Structure 1
Amino acid sequence: MPHPSYLLKPEWVKTIRDTGAEAEKLAMLHPDQLKLVYEQGWFKFLVPKAYSGLQLPLPDMVRLEESLAWANGSLGWVVTLCSGAGWFGGFLSADVAPELLNNPALCLAGSGASTGTATITDGGYIINGTWKYASGAHHATHITANCIIKNGDEPVLDADGNELILPFIFDKKDVEIFPAWKYIGMMATGSDAYQVSNLFVKANRCFKIDPAYAVINEPLYKYPFLQLAEATLAANISGMAVHFLDLCGPLFDEKQLGKRQPGTYRDATKQLLDELTAKLNNTRAEFYRAVDASWQSGLTGPAGYLTEVSATSRKLAKTARESVDKLYPYCGLQAANPDTEISQTWRDLHTASQHSLLNSI
């Protein structure tokens, strides 16, 4: 299984990692990191080509996201979530999408939580609500949010009798962002909260995420959102785990040179690292086989293999967490020092892996 580094130029990795500590202090991506993201169009992975996006095939995009998360957890996460929101461009009304998405600095942030309301009014909706954890919010050009649709004081019901929930896209200037991210990892994601009050938006700022409602008739926008989200998040956690395991090797060698541990102990830790690296790589290969098969199935006929994508995404996330946790006790105090790269990687992985989408009993 190829190492995630093969998709990134060494100078890109250097820029990303050299600014990683400063990005944590800034609580958002560093300007040099953002410059690189814009130059490479990474926020536009899934934006339709019709709107100056890359519109990457899903397997290519997932591999790139794993590579970016390997370079730095916060950067990989922000690119994944913001480019994931760019996928909504395939569902936006054609009369508003070009205006919103043809922007070289495009970045869409948002939340999947349905903690807002959209009350129907003439020509559009009145939006009220507060949402948490919008990664990349500080450098976003637009913000997306899910809202419960209301007609007066009553919720509108869908065909199944449930409250109708639809996503909207707002201009950044119409949104108030406030501090909310106070966790041990992913500190440079700037995943703060936001709110809007009595905001009028036109009807064309509302869209529906459903293959039947795709405006851009391309396979990417027919792929189910659930498996797209599962695969992209699992790839991030995998990239962070590979980074952690990469750092363990030199750290264990340093301990050996210092003769601080008996030879049998050093041999045992090296063997454990080799075994866990092989296990993680085997799980990565299984995951990518499922992602590739689901994509090809969607291209050639009825979408299949989706259950395998869900299952292998969870398996990869679990294997990544367990591999890191088995090695952590042998890393010494460097792993507990918040100023070290290995600590940052550990903190990022354990924060990102709390995402409910990939946690199951």
Structure 2
Amino acid sequence: MKQNVADIGVLQTHEDLVEKAKNFVPTLRARGSETEELRRVPEDIMTALKEEGLFKILRPRRYGGHQANMRTYLDCLVEISRGCGSTGWVYSLCNIRELMIAESFSEKAHEEIYGPGTDVVFAGVFEPREIQVRRVEGGYHIDEGRWMFCSGSVHATWGYFGMPLVDKAGAVVDHGLITMPFKDIEIGDDWRTLGMRGTSSHGVVIRDTFIPDHRAVSLSEAKNGNFQSAHLRDESLYNTALFPALNLSLAAPALGLARAALDIFMERLPNRRISYTFYDKQSEAPVTHLQLSEASLKIDSAAMHFQRVADELDATAKSGQYMDPDMRIKLNGDMGIAVEYCKEAINILIGSSGGSYIYDGNPLQRVFRDFWSMYVHGAILPTSQLETYGRSLCGLEPNKDFI
């Protein structure tokens, strides 16, 4: 299904794509409560995002995508997250799967996915909660497997999952990645949460399913840049370091949420007073000046860290060299401190907003709940990322595999 660029008609500049994402912010914010109640992104919003080409940021050109870069992807997902945390999270993860599928799998797998020319949206999870899998002729047979927190599951057409690779004796020989149609996957109804309620991050089950060898690859090889996508080796985007890119997709919505908190605070500031004081205008109080400047600069600092991550991923990929482990660990540290700055900024803004933020109708409350629901994700928890970077600075081996 290789296409000429001239036949695609979707390629746009960085500025065009980011502006399209930014234009969604008012609608996403206005429909945040609806998204929570539905526990999924409203279908018309998903359709509109697709029609604007915003789900094709990282898709290869030959399959109808923009094949942009990580900086464009970052700037778009931050804008979508600024409008709605749940929509931003789904948007971020579904898009990053495009990169991971493109990098990790062969042309044969890509033709199965994109060849029919149907709408494609990816969802998936790296680690199964439980699984029984057998090595069989020509591939693997999953007797039953269960994965939790599958964000965007109700929108997906193809899945991307982590799975142990076993030999004929049943011994685990590697950690693998598989891809398969979502029509063969059972989606649960277990996503009832404090925040990120609209992400449809239900648990999923795969039963009695054959996975052919060309749709099962080694994660150990992929994380070090030994990809199966021989037909894309001349495309620099698909030399992007796998796990820092994944961590960026999980961490960067925090920046959008922090900017949303600042937007909401500033919109309400002209009409607020500070209760139990003589300040009839909160904007005239010195404490407000200090709080607002600190929160704003923390958000700016977080943005600089995230931008450095995206730019470094792009520059290294373009160089033709796969990013070395030390740099991957450092970028994860960048993201850890960026998420922490976002948390600190949001806390300052909430602490300056008075008791009204606790009402369900106050959008700042949703920002707070969405942020804390993503903050504790094991892959991006700042303490974990910063500890790993600190170990690297001390000359010690990393304390986790996914780097």
TM-score (norm 1): 0.89
1:75 to 71, 87, 93: 87
Which consecutive residues of structure 2, in runs of 5 or more, have no partner in the other structure? 1-16, 384-403
User: What does 1:122-201 correspond to in 2, within 5 Å?
Assistant: 122-127=137-142, 128-152=144-168, 154-157=170-173, 164-201=174-211
1:34 to 46, 67, 71: 46
1: CA distance, partners of 2:206 / 2:79: 35
Aligned pair 1:109/2:123, yes or no?
yes
Instruction: Name the CA shift for 1:32/1:141 in 2 (closer, same or farther; >3 Å).
Output: same
Q: CA deviation at 1:353?
A: 1.2
* AA of the residue aligned to 1:171: P
User: What does 1:1-361 correspond to in 2, within 5 Å?
Assistant: 7-8=19-20, 11-87=23-99, 88-102=101-115, 103=117, 105-115=119-129, 116-127=131-142, 128-152=144-168, 154-157=170-173, 164-209=174-219, 210=222, 211-215=225-229, 216-217=232-233, 218-256=235-273, 261-263=277-279, 266=282, 267=285, 268-300=287-319, 302=321, 303=323, 305-361=327-383
* AA of the residue aligned to 1:318: E
2: CA distance, partners of 1:66 / 1:60: 10
Instruction: Name the CA shift for 1:339/1:101 in 2 (closer, same or farther; >3 Å).
Output: farther
2: CA distance, partners of 1:289 / 1:200: 41
Instruction: Name the CA shift for 1:203/1:306 in 2 (closer, same or farther; >3 Å).
Output: closer
2: CA distance, partners of 1:45 / 1:27: 25
Q: Is the 8 A contact 1:137 1:192 kept in 2?
A: yes
> How big is each residue's C-alpha offset from its partner over 1:211-244, in whole Å with a ceiling of 9 and x where there is no partner?
2224121222222112112223222101101111
Instruction: Name the CA shift for 1:108/1:64 in 2 (closer, same or farther; >3 Å).
Output: same
Q: Is the 8 A contact 1:69 1:236 kept in 2?
A: yes
Q: Is the 8 A contact 2:305 2:335 kept in 1?
A: no
Which consecutive residues of structure 1, in runs of 5 or more, have no partner in the other structure? 158-163
* Aligned residue pair count: 350
Q: Which moved more, 1:325-334 or 1:64-73?
A: 325-334
Q: CA deviation at 1:271?
A: 2.9
> How big is each residue's C-alpha offset from its partner over 1:152-206, in whole Å with a ceiling of 9 and x where there is no partner?
452232xxxxxx1111112112111112222111111100000011212222221
What is the DSSP-based 3-state SS (H/G/I as helix, E as strand, rest coil) of the residue aligned with 2:126? strand
Q: CA deviation at 1:360?
A: 3.8
Instruction: Name the CA shift for 1:323/1:212 in 2 (closer, same or farther; >3 Å).
Output: same
What is the DSSP-based 3-state SS (H/G/I as helix, E as strand, rest coil) of the residue aligned with 1:213? coil
2: CA distance, partners of 1:8 / 1:70: 13
Corresponding residue of 2:7: none
Q: Which moved more, 1:246-255 or 1:78-87?
A: 246-255
1: CA distance, partners of 2:122 / 2:312: 29
Q: CA deviation at 1:332?
A: 2.5
Q: CA deviation at 1:307?
A: 4.1
Instruction: Name the CA shift for 1:260/1:38 in 2 (closer, same or farther; >3 Å).
Output: farther
Q: CA deviation at 1:40?
A: 2.0
Corresponding residue of 2:401: none
Instruction: Name the CA shift for 1:335/1:114 in 2 (closer, same or farther; >3 Å).
Output: same
Q: CA deviation at 1:136?
A: 0.6
Instruction: Name the CA shift for 1:58/1:297 in 2 (closer, same or farther; >3 Å).
Output: same
Q: CA deviation at 1:138?
A: 0.5
2: CA distance, partners of 1:195 / 1:230: 24
CA RMSD of aligned residues (A): 2.4
What is the DSSP-based 3-state SS (H/G/I as helix, E as strand, rest coil) of the residue aligned with 1:212? coil
Q: Which has the higher contact order (CA 8 A, sep 6+)?
A: 1
Q: Is the 8 A contact 1:214 1:222 kept in 2?
A: no
Q: CA deviation at 1:287?
A: 3.2
* AA of the residue aligned to 2:157: T
TM-score (norm 2): 0.80
Instruction: Name the CA shift for 1:249/1:270 in 2 (closer, same or farther; >3 Å).
Output: farther
2: CA distance, partners of 1:233 / 1:156: 28
1: CA distance, partners of 2:308 / 2:70: 12
> How big is each residue's C-alpha offset from its partner over 1:255-289, in whole Å with a ceiling of 9 and x where there is no partner?
13x97643299311243112210232133124313
* AA of the residue aligned to 1:312: D
What is the DSSP-based 3-state SS (H/G/I as helix, E as strand, rest coil) of the residue aligned with 1:95? helix
1: CA distance, partners of 2:236 / 2:18: 26
2: CA distance, partners of 1:39 / 1:329: 39
Q: Is the 8 A contact 1:134 1:192 kept in 2?
A: yes
